[in-house]
């Protein structure tokens, strides 16, 4: 009996350890907005962030969304990776994802330039902040796909449209298609290339999470944030569930083997 209890206790302990990532993930997904952070690559892609109104003004802002993105996702938290300061122009971003780049930062809401760090957000908004890689001419051009998050089946093809935000003669932001840009999948350049209208058909051959980006020979693109869940293949969470199932099966078999052995001894 003691052996059976010991096996069950071990099983409970292992199950608790394996379920920690699941509980953490659930906490992060109880969110209000989505946040993406990039420099020359994606640091955080379309992540759900639960935002609190620490300003106590009844609203939550771009600043608060970025702050809590670091609280939940950055190693060391917001105190290590995020910083702003008050200036004569309002709140200014001075540190993003651990990068202190002077004033070389940009931030957009739903793929449109944010009016300020204090800009109010609503449920489901997408904040995309980035670090300028060209801090001399600030030539980095914000780009985005027409789809930010979607699910596909393995080997399925999807047509995306890549656009860039530029400005007209009156400095009003406008979106234009990006042609001759190559698609990247999880940071690796592919042969998929956009046409004159910025359209490209991408085939997803690997299961799991895929980050879709883009590079151009003629433009310095801010990496677009496009997260794709490809059905098929094992994910880390799937492997953990499989391992847990195997441990349960092993524990049950062990318990049955011990009980059967004791019954056999009693018959003798």
Structure tokens at 28: 């992060």
Q: Which residue has the tokens 């990532």?
A: 21
**137 has a pLDDT exceeding 90:** no
pLDDT of residue 80: 96
pLDDT tens digits, 31-50? 489 999 998 888 999 999 99
Q: What's the predicted TM-score (pTM) here?
A: 0.74
pLDDT tens digits, 81-105? 999 999 998 999 999 999 997 668 9
H-type helices in 30-111, by residue range?
Answer: 62-73, 78-81
**235 has a pLDDT exceeding 70:** no
**67 has a pLDDT exceeding 50:** yes
Residue 225 φ then ψ, to 5°: -105, 110
Can you spell out the DSSP letters for 160-173?
Answer: EEEEEEEE-TT--E
pLDDT of residue 109: 98
């Amino acid at each position: 009996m003691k052996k059976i209890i010991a096996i069950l206790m071990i099983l409970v302990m292992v199950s608790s350890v394996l379920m920690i990532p699941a509980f953490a993930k659930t906490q992060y997904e109880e969110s209000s907005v989505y946040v993406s952070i990039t420099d020359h690559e994606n640091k955080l892609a379309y992540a759900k962030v639960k935002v609190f109104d620490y300003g106590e003004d009844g609203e939550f802002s771009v600043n608060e969304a970025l702050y809590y993105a670091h609280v939940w996702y950055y190693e060391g938290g917001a105190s290590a990776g995020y910083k702003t300061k008050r200036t004569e122009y309002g709140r200014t971003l001075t540190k993003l994802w651990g990068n202190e780049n002077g004033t070389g930062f940009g931030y957009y809401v739903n793929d449109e330039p944010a009016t300020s760090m204090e800009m109010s957000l609503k449920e489901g908004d997408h904040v995309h902040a980035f670090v300028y890689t060209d801090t001399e001419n600030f030539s980095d051009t914000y780009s985005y796909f027409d789809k930010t998050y979607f699910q596909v089946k393995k080997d399925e093809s999807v047509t995306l449209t890549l656009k860039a935000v530029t400005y007209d003669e009156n400095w009003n932001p406008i979106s234009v298609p990006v042609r001759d840009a190559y698609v990247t999948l999880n940071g690796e350049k592919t042969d998929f290339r956009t046409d004159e209208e910025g359209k490209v058909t991408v085939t997803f051959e690997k299961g799991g999470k895929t980050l879709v980006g883009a590079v151009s020979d003629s433009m310095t693109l801010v990496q677009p944030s496009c997260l794709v869940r490809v059905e098929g293949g094992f994910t880390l969470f799937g492997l953990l569930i499989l391992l847990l199932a195997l441990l349960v099966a092993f524990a049950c078999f062990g318990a049955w083997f011990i009980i059967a052995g004791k019954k056999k001894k009693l018959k003798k």
